[in-house]
Amino acid sequence: MIPMSPHIFYSHYGLDTNPPATHLCYEVYRQAELIASGHFTNTDEEHAEEVFIGERFQEAWRNCTIVWYISWSPCDHCMEILLNTFLPRNPLVNLHIIFAKVYRHTSMNNVRELSDRGVQICVMTPQDFLRCWNHYVETEEPFVPWTDIHRNYQRVSNWLYRAIHGNN
């Protein structure tokens, strides 16, 4: 895996940034053992989630836990692919989606349906940002969290709670 630069990390995962692409860091576990990891952004033709499903996902991972640390919550298009194609074809995959910011084209109804189908959806905590920094970023510099990281976590967690529990 080629590590990302600190600039890429801060520009995509930064809480006050509005990058034109989604960045996705992934980890694949068989039982408790990490067997694969990587990161990438959208292409001009496909969203990061589509790239993972179409190019990165391997048949050997069909009975694994997959963790996505993504800069934006999945859009409705990507959630519909997950709901209608990926999850039905891979019923033994245990998918965790951990996101930093809410994308404007993320439907609470689709988030609720993903959750109802067993996908674990969470907001990135300060520890998640630190994990991604330590695992995916090429630098000796320590991670410097955003000043409003805890406030963002609370705000986005409240949005996610309303999405999953139907309190629009």
pLDDT tens-place string over residues 114-144: 999 999 999 999 999 999 999 999 999 999 9
State how far Cα 127 lies from the chain centre. 14
Q: Where are the domains of the chain?
A: 6-165
Task: Give the N- to C-terminal CA distance of the chain in Å, as an integer.
Answer: 40
Mean pLDDT, rounded, of the chain: 94
pTM: 0.95
- Cβ(162)–Cβ(115) below 8 Å: no
Topology of the domain comprising 6-165: Cytidine Deaminase; domain 2 (3.40.140)
| 135 backbone dihedrals φ, ψ, rounded to 5° | -95, -30
